[in-house]
Structure 1
Amino acid sequence: MVNLLGVSILREIGILMTAIIVAGRSGSAFTAQIGTMKVNQEVDAISTLGLDVVELLVVPRALALMITLPLLAFYADIMGLFGGAVMSYATLDITFGQFIRQLHGAVTLPHFLVGLVKAPVFALVIAMVGCYEGLKVSGSAESVGTLTTKSVVESIFLVIVLDAVFSVLFSFLRL
């Protein structure tokens, strides 16, 4: 029980759930912010000033997400393991000490690193999709809403596909 819980949370569930939540929250915010700037012609004003729109609007968002998603994934891993320890104690009478000892024997550093390696890649995909869809906005506020929804769906889809690709890759590499 503890082995399955530790490995699944650290390798898959922690980062996948965190990335899906971040795609819904931050990916949509990126699209809505940039899309609103596009509707208000602020993006055109930035270009008119001779500034690079990608450098000014996209790169900071991508870097910020690439820093914060691994931290959020780490936090999700810790909270998931803590929740598993509480439920193991409540339902299976496994003490916290037993849980930690069994977890220590089952989980290795590569299990932990596999989840954290995925985080910056997922963050980059979420940021790129959110910013790209925001820059595609044209005309009205209705376009902002439509493309915001589209960016969330695309981000979540790509995160799940990339997670599957990572799983195959790490399985092939025996990690």
Structure 2
Amino acid sequence: MITWFDALLITLWALLTALGARRGLSGLAWGLSGIALCFLANSLSGSPLAAALIALMLSAGMAVAISRLIPAPLEQPWHMAPGALGGFLLGGLLVCTAALSFPLDVQVTTRGPQGTYPSPSLPPAIYDAVRNSAVKNALRGVWGSGVAVKTLLIPDQVRGF
């Protein structure tokens, strides 16, 4: 079932894809470097505030580097396709992290800690939209995936509950 939350996520994804296409070759560099910088910031820090500061500083440096390395990003019409790819990849990362960023409810049972995502303590409209989200359901395998994927998408869950 597609919820309003899914519609919001897909709209965000489409906007970032269009923005990447508009930026041309620098859109490709922007998307790929954005993914690499998110991974690096999440790897270097266990604190969300520190990761945000690291990402902000690295992204400012990357923006300057991209603008100097790619002076004419839309020189040819075909430059829009790689830019759209960069925006699509970065948009996919943002959609995945947004779908998996709500609170997790952890209960201790006889089998150990059991997590419920999203937490039932969310307001009912948000809880229903996220719980029934097709995007969130497609990302269910991330919780059991490797450390690299968790570091990129759900860095607060790398160490477990």
Give the shorter-chain TM-score range: under 0.3
Give the number of the structure whose residues are more often strand, by fraction: 2
Higher helix share: 1
Higher RCO structure (Cα 8 Å, ≥6 apart): 1
Query: What TM-score do the two structures reach when normalised by structure 1?
Result: 0.26
